[in-house]
Amino acid sequence: MTVNSEFSNNGSQSASTEQIPWDKDALCGQTSPEAFFPEKGTSNRDAKKICGQCEVARECLDYALENDERFGVLGGMSERERRKLKGLGAQAITVEFENSQAKNRRL
């Protein structure tokens, strides 16, 4: 999976051809997408662990927020965690992101 892959806001697959400059560095591109879109009630730990090592995690989170991506683990955060960032300023988002990534790296 890569963020440039084929998941749209409603969780369905789409034929997106949009190029995202940092997508080639997305660590999830080397794994299967299932971990990033866990079934309800299952763990997203594996995905977060990968995100914790990803060099483009902040870009990924910004992309998810800007595009209102509502499904899956992106930028090291679940959809619920990203929802909590809505309305926060850039500095607060940075703090939340860094705390999240610090946790993800300990998984």
For the record, the structure tokens of 55 come out as: 């060099």
Q: CA-CA distance, 79 to 52, in Å (whole number)?
A: 16
Q: According to CB under 6 A, which one of 35, 50, 65, 93 is a site residue for ligand SF4? A: 50
Q: Binding of ligand SF4 at residue 65 (CB under 6 A)?
A: no
Q: According to CB under 6 A, which one of 4, 7, 44, 76 is a site residue for ligand SF4? A: 76
Q: Binding of ligand SF4 at residue 75 (CB under 6 A)?
A: yes
Q: Binding of ligand SF4 at residue 77 (CB under 6 A)?
A: no
Q: Positive or negative, the Cα torsion across 23, 63, 83, 40?
A: negative
